[in-house]
Structure 1
Amino acid sequence: MHDQCVEVAAVHGYMGVRDSKDPAGPMLIFTSADWRAFTRAINGGPNG
């Protein structure tokens, strides 16, 4: 579906994730290390 999107951006040294349809809404904030771990996990594990 084209109406279900998220935005990811570097925010003051962290990674911010939010719903693109609600830019004034809540944002999830990840440390760089947590973001790398998350992206490795969704791309196939620790050796991603």
Structure 2
Amino acid sequence: MVRSARRYAEKFCWRNQAAKHLQLAEAVLEGSAPSQHMFDEDETMNEPA
């Protein structure tokens, strides 16, 4: 019983993580990911003055 519960928890965790990664990938492709703004700032900081 403990083994099957552990297996279920691992599968649930894996699926949950996979779903989060898919959501982040979609957000990056749409340009609406929070980290996208960080990259934009980094690019402007590296431009010559």
TM-score (norm. length: structure 1): 0.29
Greater relative CO (CA pairs within 8 A, separation 6+): 1
Query: Which of structures 1 and 2 has the bigger CA Rg?
Result: 2
Structure whose residues are more often helix by fraction: 2
TM-score (norm. length: structure 2): 0.29
Structure whose residues are more often strand by fraction: 1
